[in-house]
Amino acid sequence: MGERLQKYLARAGVASRRKAEELIRSGRVTVNGRVARLGERVPEGAEVRVDGKPVRPPDERVVLVLHKPRGYTTTKRDPHAERTVYELVPDLPGLVAVGRLDRDSEGLLLFTNWGELAHRLTHPRYRVERVYRVTSRRGTPPIHLLKRLERGVVEGGERLSAKKARPAPHGAVLTLTEGKKREVRRMMRAIGYPVERLLRVKYGPVRLGGLAPGRWRRLSEEEVAKLARAVGLFEEE
């Protein structure tokens, strides 16, 4: 019978399902040479094109976890970047980084060729937890300042908050769910404890564990399923 077209496009990494629906409505998608209709199913072996270019989901869903070292940029093409994280992982079709870590940040970075999973893991609606181990030259912030981070601070005209903030040696451990740009560094600066080192140790149910800097591993099918269920996938399969 085939899967619905918007899901097919999301698996192909073209766009999230919502964006895929917009592409279909605007007449930019064809199935076997005719303009596609929203909600139709893609027969096995059908030729699907977006703006005239053929698209096809990967043969299998791949999710990798990398221990990103300091000094690498989370981008594929940046003429100003000396080193990018894509130099550290296999060159697989459709593989993209899930979210970002800035050049000076370290730790857990996910990669996948499953477009809808990548979209949901980064969308604020799904409130996926990211856990960061922060070190500051000023040491460990007092409890009242960490509680302030949980209540929310305003930095650069934007309200930022941590779901959890607890003390740790020479710094803190913060749990966030939104993934705003340089959020951890901005929050710590707002309470007077600028970040010296920033390490992401957990993303959703996936932990960094003992993975060495610069090394990657592929998630098992069980780990991928757990990650997908955390953002409501598989229930919709």
120 in a structural domain: yes
Residues 114 and 214 in one domain: yes
Residues 119 and 209 in one domain: yes
- Residue 171 has a pLDDT of 98
Residues 48 and 67 in one domain: no
237 in a structural domain: no
- Residue 8 has a pLDDT of 86
Closest CA to 199 of 70, 17, 34, 57: 70
Residues 133 and 198 in one domain: yes
Residues 102 and 160 in one domain: no
Residues 106 and 45 in one domain: no
- Residue 107 has a pLDDT of 98
Name the residue range of residue 35's domain.
3-55
Tens of each residue's pLDDT in the chain, 237 residues: 678 898 888 777 777 778 889 999 999 999 999 999 998 999 888 999 999 999 887 777 899 999 999 999 998 776 677 899 999 999 887 889 998 899 999 999 999 988 889 989 999 899 999 999 999 999 999 999 999 999 999 998 999 999 999 999 999 999 999 888 899 999 999 999 999 999 999 999 999 999 999 999 999 989 998 999 999 886 444
Catalytic residue, from 51, 59, 102, 104: name it: 102
pTM for the full predicted model? 0.78
Domain count, the chain: 3
236 in a structural domain: no
- Residue 237 has a pLDDT of 43
Helix H, strand E, coil C: the string for the chain is CCEEHHHHHHHCCCCCHHHHHHHHHCCCEEECCEECCCCCEECCCCCEEECCEEECCCCCCCEEEEEECCCCECCCCCCCCCCEHHHCCCCCCCCEECCCCCCCCEEEEEEECCHHHHHHHHCHHHCCCEEEEEEECCCCCCHHHHHHHHHCEEECCEEECCCEEEEECCEEEEEECCCCCCHHHHHHHHCCCCEEEEEEEEECCEECCCCCCCCEEECCHHHHHHHHHHCCCCCCC
Q: Which phi and psi (to 5°) does residue 217 adopt? A: -145, 155
156 in a structural domain: yes
Give catalytic status of residue 78 as yes or no: no
235 in a structural domain: no
- Residue 212 has a pLDDT of 98
